[in-house]
A and B are shown apart, each in its own frame.
Chain A
Amino acid sequence: MATNTFTACEKVIDYDLQESEKKIVIDANIVKDKNINTVSITKSAYFNESNTFEVINNALVIVSDNENNIDTLTYVGDGKYQTSKIIGKEGNTYKLYVKVNNQVFESNCTMPKQVNFDSLFIQDFGGFAGYVPVPARLDPKGFSNYYRFKVSKNDKPFSNIFVQDDELIDGNKVTQPLIGVDYDFKNGDICEVEMLCIAKDVCKYWFELSQNAGGGPGGGTAAPSNPTSNISGGCLGYFSAHTSEIKSIIFIK
Chain B
Amino acid sequence: MSKNTLYLKSKEIRLGLFLFALSNLLLTQKLFAQNTKFYISGTVKDANNGETIIGATVRLKELSSAGNFTNEYGFYSISALKGNYTLVVSFIGYVSFETTLELNTSLKKDIVLRPKNKELNEVKITEKKKNENVKTAQMGVEKLDMKEISKIPVLLGERDIIKTLQLMPGVKGAGEGNAGYYVRGGGADQNLILLDEAPVYNASHLLGFFSTFNSDAIKNATLYKGSQPANYGGRLASVLDIKMNEGNSKHFSTSGGIGLISSKLNFEGPIKKDKGSFLITGRRTYADLFLKLSSDKSISENQLYFYDLNAKANYKIGEKDRIYLSGYFGKDKLGFGETFGISWGNSTGTLRWNHIINNKLFSNTSLIFSNFNYEIKISAGQNDFKIKSHITDYNLKQEFQYFPNNKNKIKFGFNTIHHTITAGRIEAEEGSSLSSQPENPKYSWENAIYFTNDWQVNSRLNLEYGLRLTSFSLLGGSTYYDYDDKGEVINSTTYSSGEILKTYLNPEPRLSASYSYATDASIKASISRNVQNVHQLSNATASNPTDIWIPTSFNVRPEIGDQLAIGWFKNFNNGNYEFSAEAYYKEMQNQVDYKNGANSQAGDKVEGELVYGKGRAYGLELLLKKKTGKLTGWVGYTLSRTERKFDGINNNEWYLAKQDRTHDISIVGIYELKPKWSLSAAWIFYTGNAVTFPSGKYNVDGTLQWAYTERNSYRMPNYHRLDLGLTYVRKKTEKMESSWNFSLYNAYGRENAYTISFREAKSDPNKTEVVQTTLFRWIPSVTYNFKF
Contact = CB atoms under 8 A, between A and B. Distances in A.
Interface residues of A, number: 75
B774 A9 contact: yes
Interface string A116-144: 00000001011111000010000000000
Nearest to B716: A216
Interface string A1-37: 1110110111111110111101101010000000000
Contacts of B433: 169, 172-176
A8 B302 CA distance: 18
B694 interface: yes
B175 to A, nearest CB: 6
Given A51-B697, A226-B708, A175 B599 contact: no
A217 B541 contact: yes
Contacts of A50: 766-767
A23 B698 CA distance: 9
B776 A6 contact: yes
Contacts, number: 237
B381 A177 contact: yes
B233 to A, nearest CB: 28
B214 interface: no
Nearest to B297: A127
A237 B298 CA distance: 40
A8 B708 CA distance: 27
A238 interface: yes
A225 B711 contact: yes
Contacts of B538: 222
Interface stretch (B33-41, B491-499, B508-516, B754-762): B754-762
B753 to A, nearest CB: 8
A22 to B, nearest CB: 7
Given A14-B770, A226-B708, A169 B435 contact: yes
Contact of B435 (A13, A53, A172): A172
Contact of B773 (A8, A25, A238): A8
A104 interface: no
B380 A225 contact: no
A185 to B, nearest CB: 15
B516 to A, nearest CB: 44
Contact of B707 (A23, A177, A215, A222): A23
Interface stretch (A62-70, A93-101, A205-213): A205-213
Given A18-B709, A169-B434, A125 B692 contact: no
Interface stretch (A38-46, A84-92, A107-115, A243-251): A38-46
Given A217-B541, A218-B540, A51 B768 contact: yes
A217 B754 contact: yes
Interface stretch (B18-26, B333-341, B466-474, B627-635): B333-341
A77 interface: no
A48 to B, nearest CB: 8
Contacts of B756: 13, 15, 215-216
Given A45-B698, A48-B768, A177-B383, 17 more contacts: A2-B775, A3-B773, A6-B177, A17-B694, A17-B695, A17-B714, A20-B695, A46-B695, A126-B337, A127-B302, A157-B702, A217-B542, A218-B177, A222-B538, A222-B692, A228-B596, A238-B700
A43 to B, nearest CB: 8
B112 interface: no
A223 B692 contact: yes
A103 interface: no
B772 A18 contact: no
8 contacts: A6-B776, A8-B773, A10-B772, A18-B713, A47-B695, A127-B302, A218-B754, A225-B596
Contacts of A216: 541, 691, 754-757, 773
A223 B712 contact: yes
Nearest to A42: B699
B704 interface: yes
A168 B434 CA distance: 5
B307 to A, nearest CB: 17
A223 B544 CA distance: 15
Interface of B: 175-178, 207-209, 297-299, 301-302, 304, 334, 336-340, 380-383, 426, 428, 432-435, 437, 538-542, 544, 596-599, 649, 658, 691-709, 711-714, 717, 751, 754-758, 760-761, 765-777
A211 B760 CA distance: 18
A134 B541 contact: no
Given A14-B770, A25-B700, A127-B301, A224 B754 contact: no
B696 A13 contact: no
B22 to A, nearest CB: 43
A159 interface: yes
A8 B774 contact: yes
Nearest to A160: B703
Contacts of B334: 1, 5
A177 B380 CA distance: 7
Given A3-B775, A134-B381, A217-B754, A170 B694 contact: no
Contacts of B705: 209, 212, 236
A175 B336 contact: no
A13 B757 contact: no
A121 B767 CA distance: 35
Contacts of B760: 51
Contacts of A225: 596-597, 692, 708, 711
Contact of B658 (A123, A134, A212, A222): A222
A212 B426 CA distance: 23
Contact of A159 (B697, B704, B706, B755): B704
A208 B694 contact: no
Contacts of A11: 751, 771-772, 774
A190 interface: no
Residue among A5, A19, A218, A236 with most chain B CB within 10 A: A218
Residue among B301, B432, B701, B751 with most chain A CB within 10 A: B701
Contacts of B544: 218
A22 B696 contact: yes
Residue among B209, B432, B538 with most chain A CB within 10 A: B432
A51 B382 CA distance: 41
B639 to A, nearest CB: 24
B415 to A, nearest CB: 33
A44 B771 contact: no
Give 7 closest A-B pairs by Cβ, nearest first: A216-B755, A127-B298, A208-B597, A20-B695, A217-B542, A128-B339, A128-B336
Contacts of A214: 757
Contacts of B694: 17, 47, 224
A221 to B, nearest CB: 5
A187 interface: no
Contacts of B597: 204, 207-208, 211, 225, 227-228
Contacts of B692: 222-225
Given A8-B775, A12-B770, A225-B711, A172 B297 contact: no
B337 A128 contact: yes
Contacts of A43: 698
A52 interface: yes
Contact of A218 (B207, B297, B768): B207
Contacts of A134: 381
B375 to A, nearest CB: 15
A188 interface: no
Given A20-B695, A50-B766, A159-B704, A172 B774 contact: no
A233 interface: no
A59 interface: no
Contacts of B539: 221-222
Given A127-B337, A236-B700, A18 B434 contact: no
A46 B767 CA distance: 11
Contact of A207 (B298, B599, B765): B599
A54 to B, nearest CB: 10
Contacts of B696: 19-20, 22-23, 44-47
Contacts of B209: 2
Contact of A219 (B339, B383, B428, B540): B540
A179 interface: yes
Contacts of B777: 9
